[in-house]
A and B are shown apart, each in its own frame.
Chain A
Amino acid sequence: MRTDHHIILRVVAKPLIPIIALFALYVQFHGDYSPGGGFQAGVIIAVAVILYALIFGISPAMRAVPPAFTRSLAAIGFLLYAGVGVWALLMGGNFLDYDALFNEADGGHHGQHYGILLVELGVLFAVAGSMLSIFYAFAGRVTEIKDEDW
C-alpha cells in the first residue's frame, strides 16, 4: 500500500525527467562544438532513469527500462565502438583510423566526423547501459525504500 505523501516530489520530478533526457541528447550530439560527449551524455541518461526509479520505485523503472535491455545496451555500445575500428581495418586503414572509413581524398573530414559520431554513440550506449546495470544490481536487492530510511 503506497502512501502518497511524496506527491510534491512526483509532480516536480515528472516534467524534469524528459528535460534531463533531452539535455543528454544535446550533450551527445553537440559534443563536437561544446563541452560534453558520449560519456557525460550516457551518465545523464542513466541519471534520468535512476531519478525515475528513486521517486516512482524500482519495479516501475525496471518495467520501463528492463535490466535485460540495459546489459545488452552496454555490450552493444562496446561492440559499436570496436566495430568502427574493424570497419577502418576492412577499408584498408589502421584500427580506429577514421580517415580510412570512406577512402576519401586528403582534406576530407567525413570519415573523421562519422567516426567520432559513431564512437561517441558507442560510448553513450556502453556508459548508460553499464551505469543502469550497476544501479539495478544494487537497487534490485531491496524491494522498496522505506520512508523511515530517509
Chain B
Amino acid sequence: MTGYEGADLAIALINVVLLGLLFVVAIAIARMRSLFAIVMLSSIYSLISATWFVALDAVDVAFTEAAVGAGISTALLLGAMLLTSRTAKPEPRKFAIVPLLVCIATGLILVYATIDLPAFGDPDSPANTYVGTDYIERTPEEIGVPNIVTAVLASYRGFDTLGETGVVFSAALAVILLLGFGERSLSASIGRRKGGKE
C-alpha cells in the first residue's frame, strides 16, 4: 500500500465515522421527546456536519455551518423553547405501513440517482468545467483577492449577496413585527429595580 492509498483509506474511514455519527444523532433526535435535549442534539448535528464539510475541503461552508447551525440557531431555538413547554406531546406508537413504504421508495430513488453523479473532485464534472474554472483563472487578474470564495461572493455574485443580506434583514423585520422589539423585559426589570429601591 502506497502512502496515497493509505491517505485515501483514512479519509474514507473519517467519512464513514462522521456520517455514522450523523445517522445516530438523527435517530436520537427523532426518538426524543425532551425539547431541550433535541435542541442540544441538533447543535451537535450541525457541528458534526461542519466537521464533515472540512473533510470535503469546503472550509467556508463548514465555517458558516458551525457559526449558524451550531451557534446562533441553538441560542435562538433555546430562546423560543423558553416560551413554550419543555417536552413534546407523546405520540401514540402505531405501525404505519404507507409512510414506511414512501420513505423506503424515496431512499431507493435517491441512492439510484447518486450512481449518475460525478465522482468527488472529478475535474471533468459540470461543476468544475465551465464557470468554476473561469473564476479560478480570472480572479487573480480581475479581483486580486487570494480567497476566490470571497471574490465570487462579494464581487462576481455581489447581487446575490445583496439579496441574501436583504433576506436576513427582512427576516429580522418580520420577527420584530410579530413578536415586538423585546424591550418589555428591559422596562420590566428597570421598573422592578426602581420598585425595590423605594
A residues within 8 Å of B by Cβ?
Answer: 27, 31-37, 39-40, 43-44, 46-47, 50, 54, 58-59, 62-63, 67-68, 71, 74-75, 77-78, 81-82, 85, 95-96, 98, 107, 109, 112-113, 115-116, 119-120, 122-123, 126-127, 129-131, 133-143, 145, 149-150
Contacts and interface: CB of A to CB of B under 8 A. Distances in A.
21 contacts: A35-B62, A36-B63, A39-B164, A47-B72, A59-B186, A63-B186, A71-B181, A96-B162, A116-B155, A119-B161, A120-B150, A123-B165, A126-B168, A131-B172, A138-B79, A138-B175, A138-B179, A139-B182, A140-B181, A142-B82, A143-B188
Most chain B CB neighbours (cut-off 10 Å) among A77, A107, A119: A119
B183 A140 contact: yes
Contact of A58 (B151, B179, B185): B185
Contact of B64 (A40, A81, A116, A123): A40
Contacts, number: 185
B168 A47 contact: no
Nearest to B186: A62
B86 A149 contact: yes
Interface centre among B83, B86, B153, B168 (most CB of A within 10 A): B168
Contact of B169 (A96, A130, A138, A142): A130
Contact of B165 (A27, A77, A131, A142): A77
Interface in B21-77: 36, 59-60, 62-64, 67-68, 71-72, 75-76
Report which residue of B154, B168, B175 has the largest number of chain A beta carbons within 10 angstroms of its beta carbon. B154
A63 B72 CA distance: 21
Contact of A141 (B36, B153, B179): B179
Interface of B: 36, 59-60, 62-64, 67-68, 71-72, 75-76, 78-80, 82-83, 86, 141-147, 149-151, 153-155, 158-159, 161-162, 164-166, 168-169, 171-172, 175-176, 178-186, 188-190
A143 B83 CA distance: 11
The A contact surface, by secondary structure, is: helix
A59 B168 CA distance: 25
A148 to B, nearest CB: 10
B59 to A, nearest CB: 4
B67 A47 contact: yes
A35 B145 contact: no
B166 A149 contact: no
Contact of A130 (B62, B155, B172): B172
B79 A59 contact: no
